[in-house]
Structure 1
Amino acid sequence: MTEIARTDAGSVSSGVVPGVGIGFAAATMAAMIVPIRRGVDDPAVWVGAAFAVVAVVAFLADRHFGLERRLAAGVAAASSAVVVMLAGYALNQGVAASIALPAVPWSISLVFVAFCTAGLAVSVGVAHFFGIDGYGLKERSVQTATLSVLGLGGLIAAQFATVAVALPAMAAFGSLSLVQLVVVSQIGMALGTGAVAIGYLVIREYGFSYIDLHVPTKRDLLWIVAGIFVLFGALFLISAVFYTTGIESSDHGTAQQAQENPEILLVLIPASLLIIGPFEELLYRNVIQKALYGTFSRYGAVVVGSVIFAAVHVLAYGTAGAGEVIASLGVIFGLSLVLGTIYERTENLVVPAIIHGIYNAILFANLYAMYA
């Protein structure tokens, strides 16, 4: 199937889904208009507000005035997607339009709120375009949230496993050097991520045959070579767009550590091939993306799985502002689409694991050449 969302059997068009879309689109519109009323004159915010209005009108026209469903949903989804990009760009350029929250000493960025609600409006618009009813939307939302927790659980489990490995090592050998800590963290990553993936299979009673481990065929080898070229081509293209538009991204925490301690990269280069690539692909592709196949179309699962994969990387880039983090996560999302599509095409975990590992290893080797 080539559609993003799988149409529910027997589903009928109702006012529930466009009603949800109206809510998200209206929240987006308000979050973009309020800064304008307060004097924000950034063109991205003004244009974003206009597209948010278009999304609201499209959802309203579908629900109350009988505009053809696919036309209305397509316009609403496309308009909201433009708002996502414009809000992200505005945040990256330092336009936050923050307001104080009542009764607490915190503030929240209205532009960031618009970024989030517009993203939700996109998903609702796409679902409505493919005829997903209210129950189907709820089912997909619950599964996405559940698998997001699973993905986050892999990250948390890796941290606990790292501590579990580090404590006896420190008791036996005393304080550990940074290189030794990196080795321990990679062992913890393998143990924690692997435990979450295997635990999911056990709970779901899938068995280890669920893991798509196969000796690569000649066709798979061609996918590996093509995938590496496509990943670096996509990275080059994204970097060129960022440079041209003045978008700044956040450095990965590892890159920041490597500037002062480049020797850790000598650990991360082989770890990319033996741990990072295989175990991240096991959890996020073979478990999470494959689990999404039952509810979404296969390509829809690639998109949703990539959103989850990008979202769980937020802590790795969290040292910068929201705009820079969003830009970095956008890069991760784009690269994840490539890996997810290759896994969907080959149904062999080995293929994206090798591509992912080689990609990371080359990046780490390049950093070592820069900082050593």
Structure 2
Amino acid sequence: MTDTVRADDAGSAGSDAASALGTGIAAVTMAAILVPVRRGVDEPAVLAAGGFALAAVLAFLARRHAGIDHRNAAIVASVSSLAVVLFSGYALNRGLLAVVEIPIPLSGGVWSVSLVVVAFALAGLGVGLGAADYFGVGASGLKRRALQTALLSGLGIIGLFVAELATLVVAVPTLIMLGIPEPSAVQLIVLSQLGMALGTGALAVGYLSLRQHNLSFIDLRVPSKRDVVWAVGGLIVLFGTLFLISFFFEATGVESADHGTTDQAQETPQILLVLIPASILVIGPFEELLYRNVIQKELYSTFSRYGAVVVGSVIFAIVHTAAYWTAGPGAVIASLGVVFGLSIVLGILYERTENLLVPALVHGVYNAILFGNLYLIYG
């Protein structure tokens, strides 16, 4: 068991909650995948997703009714659910949505829902429930983890709005004072970075105050030689991870969405001259403050350390959805997969060093190099 599995979480009776929920979710996932199959879709990715969804159902059922060792069954359930995530994500990337229309009561309208997106999301939950079953997490443990994940996901999403609000607070008086009726794209980027720093910093400090943490909760210290080694190695691993994911995407024909900044840079490459230093001074430090030093560290109280890295990275990826909403859902999911992979590296750097400066510097330098490359292309 991990260091965060408590007495009320442990034991075969307690962990029945995870397998019971997993069975239901895997069954709904399989049903969602079977709809496009019944419609005549013969895409191999969809068929594979359906097969693995069935395997996940059987694994969760075997854990509950066949007397099979729960850890072995949980591994099969988690791996099968992960395969559904990958194959359904690939199907979405190829444009297979399997949309159904659900009538909205009283309004007379309809709600269009992609069953493949539903299967993708539910299979992700199945991965987590399989992991919970493996570690014997019971009903109270699942509830505690779900509530904390929801709370911290909300914190991350609020961070987006707070940054926008802070930008307005900074921009309006500044532009009036300087007599600038129509700011340029470069001026807007400068103001948005100031707003992000102000808003994100205030949100992080406000949350820590609400949770009755003092400023010592922020892991900020002069880097040691060990920290420097982790930072250099982390930057290399970060670009290596990007290369491997990009190679995999190219080999499999997966298309990803461009970050919104890329579109802006094509029209006004000068904004990159602001974003390069801002990456190191603002983006890296303040995003890592919120997502690593606050969110990931808070997750340590209910998840194992590496479990917190994974869950924190899921939150980090979800919050970045809006930045990549420049294409269809399949391309967006592919881009968020990249964000998730890179966030895992940053989360491990923070977990290993417990020094905010390490992931902040690596994140900032990584972004600065990417922005610098874009400037060479568009500048």
Please indicate the TM-score interval, normalised by the length of the shorter structure.
over 0.9
1:214 aligns with 2:212: no
Aligned-partner residue type, residue 77 of structure 2: A
Residue equivalent to 2:163: 158
Aligned counterpart in structure 2 of residue 6 of structure 1, from 4, 7, 21: 4
Q: CA deviation at 1:170?
A: 2.9
Residue equivalent to 1:168: 173
Q: CA deviation at 1:102?
A: 1.8
Query: What secondary structure is seen at the aligned counterpart in 1 of 2:270?
Result: helix
Q: TM-score, normalised by structure 2?
A: 0.96
1:351 aligns with 2:358: yes
- Cα distance between partner residues in 2 of 1:345 and 1:12: 30
Query: What secondary structure is seen at the aligned counterpart in 2 of 1:262?
Result: coil
Aligned counterpart in structure 2 of residue 321 of structure 1, from 324, 328, 340: 328
1:269 aligns with 2:269: no
Q: How does 1:142-291 map to 2 (within 5 A)?
A: 142-172=147-177, 173=179, 174-291=181-298
Q: List per-residue Cα deviations over 1:117-137 (Å, max 9, x = no partner).
A: 000011001000011011101
Query: What secondary structure is seen at the aligned counterpart in 2 of 1:101?
Result: strand
Q: CA deviation at 1:105?
A: 2.9
Q: CA deviation at 1:64?
A: 2.2
- Cα distance between partner residues in 1 of 2:328 and 2:319: 17
Q: CA deviation at 1:298?
A: 0.5
Q: How does 1:287-298 map to 2 (within 5 A)?
A: 287-298=294-305
- Cα distance between partner residues in 1 of 2:234 and 2:75: 31
1:307 aligns with 2:306: no
Residue equivalent to 1:120: 125
Aligned counterpart in structure 1 of residue 135 of structure 2, from 130, 137, 140: 130
Residue equivalent to 1:335: 342
- Cα distance between partner residues in 2 of 1:71 and 1:221: 40
Query: What secondary structure is seen at the aligned counterpart in 2 of 1:100?
Result: strand
Aligned residues: 370
Q: CA deviation at 1:318?
A: 0.8
Q: Specify every segment of 5 or more residues in structure 1 that has no aligned partner in the other structure, as ranges.
A: none
- Aligned residues of 1:74 and 1:129 also touching (Cα < 8 A): yes
- Aligned residues of 2:350 and 2:359 also touching (Cα < 8 A): yes
- Cα distance between partner residues in 2 of 1:105 and 1:33: 22
- Cα distance between partner residues in 1 of 2:144 and 2:196: 31
- Aligned residues of 1:96 and 1:112 also touching (Cα < 8 A): yes
- Cα distance between partner residues in 2 of 1:195 and 1:326: 30
Task: Provide the alpha-carbon RMSD of the alignment.
Answer: 1.1
Aligned-partner residue type, residue 220 of structure 2: L
When structure 1 is superposed on structure 2, of 96-105 and 341-350 the one drifting more is 96-105
Aligned-partner residue type, residue 191 of structure 1: L
Residue equivalent to 1:88: 89
- Cα distance between partner residues in 2 of 1:41 and 1:144: 37
- Aligned residues of 1:8 and 1:133 also touching (Cα < 8 A): no
- Aligned residues of 1:40 and 1:97 also touching (Cα < 8 A): no
- Aligned residues of 2:4 and 2:301 also touching (Cα < 8 A): no
Q: Specify every segment of 5 or more residues in structure 2 that has no aligned partner in the other structure, as ranges.
A: none
- Cα distance between partner residues in 2 of 1:113 and 1:8: 32
The alignment-based identity, stated in percent, is: 61
Q: CA deviation at 1:106?
A: 2.9
1:108 aligns with 2:113: yes
Q: TM-score, normalised by structure 1?
A: 0.97
When structure 1 is superposed on structure 2, of 104-113 and 346-355 the one drifting more is 104-113
Query: What secondary structure is seen at the aligned counterpart in 2 of 1:99?
Result: strand
Q: List per-residue Cα deviations over 1:201-225 (Å, max 9, x = no partner).
A: 1111110011000101111111111
Query: What secondary structure is seen at the aligned counterpart in 2 of 1:360?
Result: helix
- Cα distance between partner residues in 2 of 1:231 and 1:246: 22
Aligned-partner residue type, residue 314 of structure 2: V
Q: CA deviation at 1:16?
A: 2.0
- Aligned residues of 1:310 and 1:329 also touching (Cα < 8 A): yes
- Aligned residues of 1:269 and 1:365 also touching (Cα < 8 A): yes
Q: CA deviation at 1:39?
A: 1.0
